[in-house]
Structure 1
Amino acid sequence: MSTNGGFYPTPRTTFGPDGPICWPRLDEEHAAEMLDELTDWVQWLTHRFTLDHRTIPTCWNQHGPLIEELAALYTAWQTAYALTAEGDAPLAWMNHFAAARQRLADWVARTGCRPGAHRSK
């Protein structure tokens, strides 16, 4: 994924995943590709919205609930900004994002991870 000069991410595929990402259905190779693409988007998201370790820790990709939440946000973001999206779709995504930030913070608190200190559970 490129970031168009650091501004907006461009999915590696035509427009990201074909639909919601269902991790158990992906073979190992496709799951690794999707995680790479998701990682690029999460880096952009973290920078764009100035999110810190309390919302998205650096070890997010080692915690299933965080992967699921972020993958859902990524899919919804792509849908919200598709050429076929309704005009208010980005605003709806922002509402979903606000709720997701709270869920992410809750999950992060449960992990016990701190900057530079991953705790596997």
Structure 2
Amino acid sequence: MLEDLRGWVTQLIDRYTLDLRTIPPCWDRHNAIVEALAALRDCERGCYDLDATPSSGIDWLRALSDVTAYLREQTARTGCAATEHRRDR
């Protein structure tokens, strides 16, 4: 599961030019961040499924906004930086 998520997260970072304050390099070592990213990936998949409603694209953008705000909070809480990982408290 984590390998699939890593590829998706890499694409997400590139598509939306997310910085280290949103998703730190050590994101996969923080359970809260992993869970949020997995939920966001699943949301995207559902929003762009063949059976999705016409408003699903907007639902995706709302979810992306909500989850990136949550990720920024979690990343600030960890205190991790580009070259430094800190364990969860």
- Shorter-chain TM range is over 0.9
- The higher relative CO (CA closer than 8 Å, separation ≥ 6) is in 2
Where does residue 35 of structure 2 map in the other structure? 68
Superposed structure 1 runs of 4+ greater than 3 Å apart: none
Structure 2 residue aligned with 1:116:
83
Aligned-residue offset at 1:88: 1.1
| Count of residues in correspondence between the two structures | 88
The residue that corresponds to 2:56 in the other structure is: 89
Q: Which residue of 54, 60, 66 corresponds with 2:21?
A: 54
Looking at structure 1, the residues matched to 50 and 65 of structure 2 have their Cα atoms a distance apart, in angstroms, of 23
Report which of the two structures shows the higher radius of gyration computed on alpha carbons: 1
Query: TM-score under structure 1 normalisation?
Result: 0.71
Unmatched tracts of structure 1, length 5 or more? 1-33
Q: Give matches, 1:6-45, under 5 Å.
A: 34-45=1-12
Which amino acid is 1:51 matched to? L
Q: CA RMSD in A?
A: 0.6
TM-score by length of 2: 0.96
Matching residue of 1:16: none
| 1:49 counterpart letter in structure 2 | Y
Structure with the bigger percentage of helix: 2
**Is there any run of 5+ residues in structure 2 with no aligned partner, and where?**
none
**Cα distance between partner residues in 2 of 1:113 and 1:70:** 17
Query: Residue 108 of structure 1 aligns to which amino acid in structure 2?
Result: T
Query: Which residue of the other structure, out of 42, 52, 72, is the alignment partner of 1:105?
Result: 72
What SS does the aligned partner of 2:67 have?
helix
